[in-house]
Amino acid sequence: MDKRQSFEREELERKQALKLEVKEALEEWESARRYFNYARGHEQVDYAIHAIITAEKRYAMLLSKAKKMIGPWPQWEGSAK
């Protein structure tokens, strides 16, 4: 395998790993929003808001990182809606 093929394979692996992170971040964000819907009391609501903000920022950061990566992407296979 030459250097170009090796680089392309490594890039594909990085993209696949990032896709998994994006999927997990989206699931975490959705989970935080569901938790907020059932939160009771001041402390639970505060925690839920913090969890939503944190998950949303992580998801946005990962999407921004993905947008900066050039070249073809493997199929998302339901990772993003």
pTM: 0.78
Query: Quick one: pLDDT at residue 71?
Result: 73
**Alpha helices by DSSP H, 1-81:** 3-38, 41-68
For residue 6, pLDDT over 60 is answered with: yes
Average pLDDT over residues 44-62: 96
Q: What whole-number distance in Å separates Cα of residue 47 and Cα of residue 13?
A: 35
Is pLDDT larger for residue 35 or for residue 78?
Answer: 35
Query: Quick one: pLDDT at residue 77?
Result: 55
76 φ, ψ (degrees, to nearest 5): -80, -20
User: Which phi-psi region, left, alpha or beta, contains residue 66 (left: φ > 0; alpha: ψ -120 to 50)?
Assistant: alpha
How would residue 57 be classed by pLDDT, with cut points 50, 70 and 90? Answer: very high
Q: What whole-number distance in Å separates Cα of residue 66 and Cα of residue 49?
A: 26
Secondary structure of residue 31 in the 3-state scheme:
helix
